[in-house]
Amino acid sequence: MTTQDLTAVEAGAAGNPAAPAPGARQVWRRLRAQRAAVAGTAVIALLVLVALAAPLLSAIEGQNTTAYHPELVDSASGGVPLGSFGGISGDHWLGVEPGTGRDMFSRLVHGAQISLAVALGATLVQILVGVGTGLAAGLGNRFVDNLLSRVTDVMITMPALVFAIALMAVVPDSFPRPLLLALIIGFVAWGSISKLVRAQVLSLKSLDYVAASRLAGSGTWRIARRELLPSLVAPVITYAALLIPANMVIESGLSFLGIGVKPPTPSWGQMLSSANTWYEADPAYVLLPAAMLFISVLAFTVLADGIRTALDPRAASRLRIGTGRKREEAAS
């Protein structure tokens, strides 16, 4: 349902493990050569900055996320903000929220914190769990592989959103919500990355250099660390870059369904779900969080695309006619 399948399909292509690894500097150069990726990176940098400086920005504006301003809304008309485009004014740079009159700018910049923190945290969890299980399945004996593969299937079968909803309800409320969200999204949606890692490990395992390492007397752990993990870095990074925006979408989806972070902590998805009915009376209320979410997800997606291109060994030689196989040798 989500971008996850896509990422699986696309990231799979990035992993030709036998291909020569472009060095970090080379990747960086190739990344910089893509204008879109540079723009994406810039947007993300800005976003991170905004998220980190959210309290400061609010303070500069002179507002906070929780203060109610009943005087700025028309109580008799359902609380629609007074003034144009959601009540934009010198005091409230992006207007106020209908009903409560809370400051939109403060809420939006604070929302960035949640979106980023949850998306990054969840991705980290997914990578740890996914790489761990994928490696274990790929390297373990048949029993371990079967067991882990079944569990992975279940994780993939179960839509992340459903599982997350169920789990959110079980965990005590005292648990910090952003952390919980990151953990739950992470623990729910690691299936495809695990599958990817397992497939990579299986194909790497059949390569001669792994056999050579065995002949050199290396044990399984040593092979995993020395021979496999370095080769997994590229596909895993590619995949992780695609997971971040996907996780952002899941987080906002959960918040949209009303089970994300708890008020008064602002989050974009949550704002959108309240804004859902307001698109006629106060379009600004819808458009602002929608735009923030869209831009962030887009920036991450673009960057992920860029990273994939940069890490893709074939990107270097786009021209291909002739006896492809030999050329790659010759080129390398």
Partner 1 sequence: MIRFLLRRTVSAAVVLLVLAVVLYAVFYLAPGDPAQLSCGPKCSPAQLVQIREQMGLNDSVYVQFWHFLQGIVTGHDYSTGTGTVHCSAPCFGQSYRTGELVSDILVAKLPATASLAIGAMVLWLLLGIGTGVLSALRRGRPTERLLTGLTLAGTATPVFIIGILLLMLFCSVLQWLPYPSYVPFTDDPQQWAWNLLLPWLALALVESAKYARLTRSSMLETLAEDHIRTFRAYGVSERAIIGRHALRAALTPVIALSALDLGTMFGGALLTESLFNVPGLGQKLVQSVELKDLPVVVGIVLVMGFAVVIANAAADVLYALADRRVVLA
Partner 2 sequence: GPKDSGGAKASTDAKPAKGGTLYVLNNQAQEDFDPARLYTSGGGNVPSLVYRTLTTRTRANGAEGSKVAADLATNTGEPSKDATVWTYHLKDGLKYEDGSPITTADIKYGIERAFAAELSGGAPYLRDWLIGGAAYQGPYKDKNGLASVETPDARTIVFHLNKPEGEFPFLATQTSFAPVPKAKDTGTKYAEHPVSSGPYKVIKNENNGEHLVLERNPNWSEATDDQRKAYPDSIDVQSGLDQAVINQRLSTGTGKDAAAVTTDTNLGPAELAKVNGDKALASRVGTGHFGYTDYIAFNPKVKPFDNPKVRQAIAYAVNRTTVVNAVGGSSLADQATTYLPEQASFGYTPYDPFPAGKTGDPVKAKQVLAEAGYPNGITVSLTHDVTKADEQGPEVATAVQDALKAAGITVKLDGQEHKAFSEKIHNVSTEPGFFLTGWGADWPSGGPFLGPIFDGRQIVKDGSNFNNAQLDDPAVNKEIDEINKLTDLKAAAVRWGALDKKIGEQAVTVPLFHPVYKRLFGKDIKNVVISDWTGVLDISQVSVK
Partner 3 sequence: MSAATDSAVDPAATAGLAEPLVEVRDLVIDFPTASGTVRAVDGLSFRLEAGGALGIVGESGSGKSATAYALLDLHRGTGARTGGTVRVAGTDVLGADDTELRRLRGGRAAMVFQDPLSSLDPYYAIGDQIAEVYRVHVKATRRAARERAVQVLDRVGIPDAARRSRARPHEFSGGMRQRALIAMALACEPRLLIADEPTTALDVTVQAQILDLLHELRAETGMGLLLVTHDLGVVAGSVDDVLVMRNGTAVERGAVSAVLDDPREPYTRALLAAVPQVDAARPVVLVKQRTGDERKAAVEAPLLEAVGLRREFGKRQDTVTAVDGVSLTVRRGETLGIVGESGSGKTTLGRMLVRLLDPTAGELRYDGRDIGKLGDKALRPLRRELQMVFQDPVSSLNPRRSIGESIADPLRAAGELSDKAVVERVRELLERVGLEPDWYHRYPHEFSGGQRQRVGIARALAPAPKLIVCDEPVSALDVTTQAQVVALLGELQRDLGLSLVFIAHDLAVVRQVSDRVAVMRAGKIVEEGPADAVYDSPQHAYTKGLLAAVPVLDPVESAVRRASRKGLAEV
Ligand X SMILES: Nc1ncnc2c1ncn2[C@@H]1O[C@H](COP(=O)(O)OP(=O)(O)OP(=O)(O)O)[C@@H](O)[C@H]1O
Nearer to ligand X, 24 or 330 (CB): 330
CA angle 121, 310, 152 (to 5 degrees): 45
Could you say whether residue 103 binds partner 2 (CB under 8 A)?
A: no
Interface pick for Mg ion out of 146, 323, 324, 332 (rule CB under 5 A): 323
Task: Name beta bridge partners: 73.
Answer: 81
Nearer to Mg ion, 1 or 330 (CB): 330
Could you say whether residue 314 binds ligand X (CB under 6 A)?
A: no
| Contact letters for partner 1, residues 65-104 (x by CB under 8 A) | ----------------------------------------
Sign of CA pseudo-dihedral 79, 85, 86, 87 = negative
Site for Mg ion in 197-256 (CB under 5 A): none
Q: Write the DSSP symbol of residue 80.
A: E
Interface pick for ligand X out of 181, 326, 328, 332 (rule CB under 6 A): 326
282 binds, among partner 2, partner 3, Mg ion, none (CB under 5 to 8 A by kind): partner 2
**Number of residues in contact with partner 2, rule: CB under 8 A?**
32
Q: What is the DSSP string of 280-291?
A: TT-HHHHHHHHH
Closest by Cα among 64, 104, 70 to 268? 104
Sequence-ordered alpha helix ranges (H) in the chain: 3-14, 24-32, 35-52, 54-61, 104-139, 142-157, 160-170, 177-188, 191-205, 208-215, 220-223, 229-256, 268-275, 283-311, 324-331
Site for partner 2 in 65-94 (CB under 8 A): 66-68, 70, 73-80
Nearer to partner 3, 2 or 149 (CB): 149
99 binds, among partner 1, partner 3, partner 2, none (CB under 5 to 8 A by kind): partner 2
Task: Count other C-beta atoms under 10 Å from residue 59's C-beta.
Answer: 12
Nearer to partner 3, 84 or 323 (CB): 323
- How buried is residue 173: exposed, middle or buried, by Cβ count under 10 Å (0-12/13-18/19+)? exposed
Could you say whether residue 322 binds ligand X (CB under 6 A)?
A: yes
Q: What is the Cβ-side half-sphere exposure of residue 303, based on CA atoms within 13 angstroms?
A: 22
The CA-atom distances, in angstroms, between 292 and each of 43, 61, 92 are 11, 19, 17
Q: Using CB under 8 A, list all residues that contact partner 1.
A: 1, 3, 5-6, 9-10, 13, 150-151, 153-154, 156-159, 161-162, 165-167, 169-170, 245, 249, 252-253, 256-257, 272-273, 275-276, 279-280, 283, 286, 290, 293-294, 297-298, 300-302, 305, 320-321, 324
Contacts with partner 2 by CB under 8 A lie at 66-68, 70, 73-80, 98-101, 168-169, 173, 258-259, 262-264, 273-274, 276-278, 280-282
